[in-house]
Structure 1
């Protein structure tokens, strides 16, 4: 066996005890893909917010000392994956951590700018929160917004329905001006040979390239698929996998998980049964 020291990634996200999403997905996926995952919990939920009720312990006050301890220990990471930040006050601590890791030679920073969907910010996301989160984008190498979040980041009017390639290309150019070298606008509805599908539109600054990655629909979207997508991209980036190959891999993996979850009649709030397919990621 050709043993190698695994790459190391800090994972900044919330933790939900029930309902597959955030850290409970990112940690096993990164581990399966031979990346050491080091969690930074921003909040602890009994179950994710898609359920009728939940208990939550916000960790905003604890986050600065948590990250400062890592800084004092001079811990370094090959990558940082930043997901949901539930409070605008958390963004300053995270920004400082990202800047410190970049100065220490961090290879890849991926920011999933979780803010909204269907043309609107989530109910807890204020204009102040959006503005502060926009300030994280220059520190990122890769960002994975959905179309709503891409519009919020660039002050672009959102429209319902299909976006053509010219519109997506222009939107990515605006996002590139904020700093990131690689962008994926995720989960766009599209038609593939007259049937429903999803499009992930990817754009690279250097060398410049843009293309649509199309995946047939395997069923309605479910909680946590964005966290799976970002986790696969993070691991692949650290392991030297081509960006477009990684995007297609992530989309195909999620489609397979959705299809299996539908066949097994897993309730939508429970997310997707990715556990059945972790070995597929480990083998690639």
Structure 2
């Protein structure tokens, strides 16, 4: 039986306030015409960046019962998409989920959320890096930022690291050697223009590298990584090519930041998704992707 709408299993935490994780993923993918089936790893009163004393309910012990019910119902998914995971046990549960539900037609996307700005998050022990290296062997696509990419291949990155295209291409290849067919590294400084930031992707199947750049805006909103990967997935499941999907993801985040930057509100609340979701329904506008040699 052909499903009228493609279906995504989204394995992430849920924050009651703040536009990140499932709070961002569900509206983005739904707007792009996909059914989102959330598998919450935890429930928080707010997202963690910029907030203190938040309520945190760990759902690790409930996840397997949740998954077993889906398996009993014989639910199938066009995409399995995991993000922030709070423990090695959760990584193992996601690994087993992939084994249960992946078919030849299932796209598996792992966003290995572990750190930023050259270091791991305070709540992230190094054992998570070792376990995440195992999980990404089962992914078709991974979307680490440059810090996470460095940790996954055992490299160090700091303010003195010279980041150029040769280094990023080498890292992409080394990450793909761990298993994923497509590696997408975000938050890459643009060596050709220090006023830009870029996303670089490598497709192992054809050996091609892609790059999408955008003007750097001096601000930060939590949850933009979740939003980027969600738009990327939605675009691919709509039938777009990899470079177009990358372009759409970068355009959406750039538009969201620009739409939010002029308002005076706490950045910790995330970009104003509500003001830009409808742009996902517009015709595809190709802007800035390029093939790297």
Equivalent residue for 1:197? 196
Deviations 1:154-212 (A, max 9, x none): 1122232551011001101100101111111001233665x522111111111111132
Instruction: Give runs of aligned pairs for residues 30-69 of structure 1, distance below 5 A.
Output: 30-50=29-49, 51-69=51-69
Aligned to 1:17: 16
Aligned length: 279
Any idea what the Cα deviations from partners look like across 1:197-244, whole Å, max 9, x if unmatched? 211111111111113211012331210000001101111121211111
Structure 2 counterpart SS, 1:247: helix
Q: Deviations over 1:135-164 (max 9, x none)?
A: 111111111001111011111222325510
Whether the 8 Å contact between 1:219 and 1:262 is mirrored in structure 2 is no
Comparing 183-192 with 75-84, greater Cα deviation is found at 183-192
Within the alignment, does 1:206 sit opposite 2:166 as a pair?
no
Change (3 A) 1:162 1:268: farther
Counterpart Cα distance in 2 of 1:249 and 1:219: 21
| Compared CA separation, residues 46 and 158, structure 1 to 2 (3 A) | same
Question: Which residue of 2 is the match for residue 188 of structure 1?
Answer: 188
Aligned to 2:275: 276
CA distance in 1, matches of 2:223, 2:125: 22
Which residue matches 2:150? 151
Does 2:146 match 1:130? no
Distance 2:46 2:150 in 1: 29
Equivalent residue, structure 2, for 1:28? 27
Q: Secondary structure at the match of 2:231?
A: helix
- TM-score, normalising length from structure 1? 0.94
- Which runs of structure 1 show a deviation greater than 6 angstroms over 4 or more consecutive aligned residues? none
Q: Which residue of 1 aligns with 2:287?
A: none
The residue aligned with 2:87 is 87
Assess if the C-alpha contact under 8 Å between 2:45 and 2:54 holds in 1.
Answer: yes
Q: Where in structure 2 are there 5+ consecutive unaligned residues?
A: 284-293
SS at 1:232's partner residue? helix
Corresponding residue of 1:112: 111
CA distance in 1, matches of 2:137, 2:191: 33
1:175 corresponding residue in structure 2: 175
C-alpha RMSD over aligned residues:
1.5
User: Does the CA contact (< 8 Å) of 2:9 and 2:80 recur in 1?
Assistant: yes
Q: Which runs of 5+ in 1 are unaligned?
A: none
C-alpha spacing 1:274/1:191, structure 2 compared with 1 (3 Å):
farther
Query: 1:184 touches 1:203 (CA, 8 Å); kept in 2?
Result: yes
Deviation at 1:245, TM superposition (A): 1.0
Q: Which is further off, 90-99 or 211-220?
A: 211-220
What TM-score comes out, normalization by structure 2 length? 0.91
Counterpart position of 1:233:
232
SS of the residue aligned with 1:264?
coil
